[in-house]
Amino acid sequence: MLTSSTSPTTLNWKPRANALKFERVLEEKYGFLKPILTDPRVSKWVKRLQRRHARGLLSPFRKASSGGGILGGGGMGLFVLLRKGWVTWEVAALLAAYGVGLRAWALVAAVGVTWIWGRGREKRWMGGGDMKRRARERVGEHAKWKGMGRKERIEYVDGVRNHFDGGSEEEWDVVVIGNGVGALLPAAIMSRMGRRVLVVTEGEDGAMVHRRNFGGLKNVPFWMEEGRTGSVGMAMRHLSLGLGNETDGLGGVRWGRVGGSGGAGEVVEIGGGGKTVFPVRRGEGVVEDSEDYLGDGNGEDSALGRYLNACSEISTTMSRYFLRKCIADEITSFLSGLGGKMGKGAYHEASIRYAGDLMKSIFGSNASPTVRSVGAALGFKNESITPMKCSMGVHVAAIKEGREGYWYPVGGGSAIAAGLYDAIERGGGGVVSLGAEGKVEEIIMEGGKAKGVKGPNGKVWKGAQVLSTFGVIRTFGSLVKVEEKPENFKALESRRPVLKVMVGLKGTAADLELTGAEYWRLPACRKPQDRVEVSPAVGADGARQKRAVMGDVGTEGPGNYKKGESWVRMDFQSPKDTVWDERWGGVTTCVISVEAGNEWVEVEGNGEEGKGPTVYKMKQVGEKEREDLKAKVLEDLVTVFPQCKGRVIFSEVSSIVQTGLSHTPVRFAASCVRPKTVYSGLYLGGDDITYDSFLGRAAAGILACNAMLGYTSVDLLGLEKNVAADVCRLWKDGRGVEGEESLFDVTQSEEGSDKKNN
């Protein structure tokens, strides 16, 4: 209660003291920000934010409505559109984010942050600083062939490179085991990404080029690997990732058309029920010939044309299928559920189905049996397997490659090997050749992780990562010496191995009237006959199911080679090479491939009984068996090509060549057939990952590089960041753009379209 003696000043001292104290606290806590925070306009704005926060307006999510969330707001329709492929996954993700309640401003902010992160991720180097420095400095001597004369270049290309031993206790970034392009290309790519790579090869030469002396010439090359390729543009892009240098995106390698501008690139002989020999021209030529000579329909009524077009349509999702091999199963399962462009695709469905079943539905019941046999021959030739046992995925891939004809590297396998060796050596790596008798004995495993490989006499090469291109069965079955094997491994089946007969002929290709077209005899593609087959599938009652097989095409037999009947491939290599006569004028070479009969191999394992994968073990054979086989093969050669009679001046049967997995649907369905294995640090390459062809081996090498470099699902699918993009970003070589000069400075005499492709 106030009295007359109480002063107002005495009553107000405490509020003033508290105010001064508050001012001092603000000064100490906020310093120069005090005037801003105490400004009335700022205070008003803060109060407004507090009210908006209390009402929930600052939350990135909207309040739940009675619409039922995304499903009630049209989410099911969005899901259907995505499965149909009518909207992209990016648009679907934005709509889904908004549909679950994300506010517009939060959505814009999320997109902005994601975009900034993605651009930074795209530029991120896959590896340590030392690896990036080595990649930029291009360690080692560059392009040894530059500055050489033409003769010196030829000698450099045809030289044998078996001098490197791989060091002693040195540890490599990557150790690659295998032969040919399937091993050398990923090694070269990893070298360009700054890794120090060691390649350990078996056989006479890492590039699978055997050299023999005959006809007064030394070191005449025989390329034991399939060297021709279709889809030359894609092949050039794949190879450029490992071959490119500062002045030439293809590292000196050029390509020439097989069969000229209008001739046949190959000839197929269809066995059984009266043999048919059919020259295969590229493009629409094969369809026109089918109409003219095989009684096929015209235009839209052409059964063969309908089949080829169907395969081309299926092939549009082939790249997606193989890319999914680099993505975790959990992610692919989720994407498969989304469907549409993110789903499995038509190629995946075709790969796990028998070719014979789809051929029946595509050709129809009225198609000529001979036309259907030709369709089977165009689909797949590299393995003597009937369409009712072969995956449709292989037929689709082969037709996609060969539809526009085939190409062959100028200089042969030696030119490609020279470029890849050069790239590996420039990156600080090397190639070790174990010779004809040397074998890789073991992949060293420590604590479940691959640590290197062991060769003959206990020789060890250590590596942080190991890439095996020796095939799935050999890698898991004999090289990785652990009891626990990957899932589905026991269900796999090996192809029957092949023997290759090297033949040298006196005279040039012009003298012998040879065009370079390959000759195939395909008993598995004989004319169809209807029958009932016992299916390997087991019904609910435990009995084997039966299925009617309408129009099965062909037979296959494990017996020994029979003249005029067995599967054979006659590959005239020298006529394909436009600079052959300059290097080896006066002789022509041919490599004839036949399947190894029961006198050469025996079968072990049975995938259906769960005892392990079906594999072929080599038998010991004497000189008599070799001479008998050679005599039969040469007799077939002069029967098909009479002009070769009396011209054979050299012949030799090579060692047995293992050929990897059989091209059945199991090969494509097995989860263990992928670049990244269940063993840490161990990766798979080679045509087992894709399919048997030059292009298939190259593509498998690129997939293996993506796995080894650690690209994530977001990288591969969302950012399109992969080894191809990173190599191009680092080297800026234009991927396949021709440079100033090449190993062989050759002007092709092709029509304009061919020049563009070359």
356-408 pLDDT per residue, tens = 999 988 988 788 888 899 999 998 899 999 999 999 999 999 999 988 889 99
Give CATH 3.90.660.50 domain extents, the chain.
259-404+498-535+547-656
Residue 627's H or E segment, with its range, is helix 623-640
Consecutive 10-residue runs of the chain (758 residues): their mean pLDDT? 53 74 76 76 80 73 55 53 58 66 76 80 77 66 59 65 63 93 94 91 86 90 89 88 72 79 82 75 86 83 90 91 86 69 81 92 85 90 91 94 88 86 86 86 93 91 95 93 88 90 94 91 71 38 37 48 90 91 90 91 66 79 88 94 95 86 92 94 95 93 95 85 85 43 40 38
Query: What is the topology classification, in CATH, of domain 259-404+498-535+547-656?
Result: Polyamine Oxidase; Chain A, domain 2 (3.90.660)
* Region class of 74: left (phi > 0), else alpha (psi between -120 and 50), else beta: left
Write the single-letter amino acid at 653. Answer: V
CB atoms within 10 A of CB 246: 14
pLDDT of residue 647: 96
The alpha helices in 458-570, defined as continuous H runs, are: 472-474, 509-512
Q: Are 276 and 526 in contact (CB under 8 A)?
A: no
Residue 199's H or E segment, with its range, is strand 197-201
| Euclidean distance between CA atoms 275 and 147, whole angstroms | 54
pLDDT of residue 161: 59
pLDDT of residue 340: 58
pLDDT of residue 734: 40
pLDDT of residue 540: 35
Tokens of 466: 């190991």
Q: What is the pTM of this model?
A: 0.82
Across 224-364, the runs of DSSP E, i.e. the strands, are: 255-257, 266-270, 276-280
pLDDT of residue 204: 82
CB atoms within 10 A of CB 620: 6
What are the C-alpha distances in Å from 566 to residues 90, 272, 522, 523, 560? 53, 11, 8, 7, 8
In which residue are the tokens 């499995």 written? 344
Q: Are 231 and 721 in contact (CB under 8 A)?
A: no
Q: What is the DSSP string of 109-169?
A: HHHHHHHHHHHHHHH--SS-HHHHHHHHHT-S---TTTT--HHHHHHHHT---------SS
pLDDT of residue 314: 94
pLDDT of residue 502: 96
pLDDT digits (tens, 9 = 90+) for 33-63: 777 777 788 878 878 877 777 777 677 777 6
pLDDT of residue 562: 87
